[in-house]
């Protein structure tokens, strides 16, 4: 279910009610964490689409990239740098990977808390 943006807030790890990724950020729900910094947490996707499938999730609850503001510039850049670091950690930097951010309905977004998918470890084929 998608909660109204009216109820969203922007505290780091504040735990927006009913948001599964806020619960993972707050460690109320266990995940296999592979990276963490002030703005982000990254963990294995529960339903991996490839040998490496990591989710990079903002600590702050933002619905998706449409909800980003100038305040989030450091977070946005940090997400790209963290993806680099994690790709190296999982040894998929040279073989290659895909970094995907789904947005809203046509984008196939299911969890309305900003995240990117880092996917690799096998040839991924064409987009879509």
Residues lying near ligand 5GP in the complex (CB under 6 A): 20, 29, 31, 43-47, 55, 102, 108-111
Binding mask 52-91 for Zn ion (x = CB under 5 A): ---------x------------------------------
Q: Which of 22, 41, 86, 92 binds Zn ion (CB under 5 A)?
A: 22
Residue among 104, 101, 112 nearest 1 (CA): 112
107 contacts 14 by C-beta, under 8 angstroms: no
Question: Which amino acids are annotated catalytic?
Answer: 115
Binding partner selected for residue 113 from ligand 5GP, Zn ion, none, CB under the kind-specific 5 to 8 Å limit: Zn ion
Residue nearest to Zn ion (CB): 19
- Could you tell me the smallest distance in angstroms from the CB atom of residue 85 to ligand 5GP? 19
Residue closer to ligand 5GP (CB basis): 49 or 77: 49
Nearest 10 degrees: CA dihedral of 60, 103, 67, 27?
-10
- Could you tell me the smallest distance in angstroms from the CB atom of residue 33 to ligand 5GP? 10
């Amino acid at each position: 279910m998608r909660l109204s943006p009216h109820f969203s807030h922007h505290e780091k790890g504040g735990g927006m009610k009913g948001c599964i990724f806020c619960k993972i950020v707050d460690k109320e729900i266990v995940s296999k964490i592979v990276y963490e910094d002030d703005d982000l947490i990254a963990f294995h996707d529960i339903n991996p689409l490839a040998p490496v499938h990591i989710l990079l999730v903002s600590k702050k609850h933002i619905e998706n990239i449409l909800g980003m503001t100038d305040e989030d510039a450091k977070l946005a850049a940090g997400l790209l740098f963290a993806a680099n670091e994690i790709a190296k950690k999982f040894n998929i930097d040279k073989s290659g990977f895909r970094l995907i951010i789904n947005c809203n309905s046509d984008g196939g977004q299911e969890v309305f808390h900003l995240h990117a998918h880092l996917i690799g470890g096998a040839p991924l084929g064409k987009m879509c």
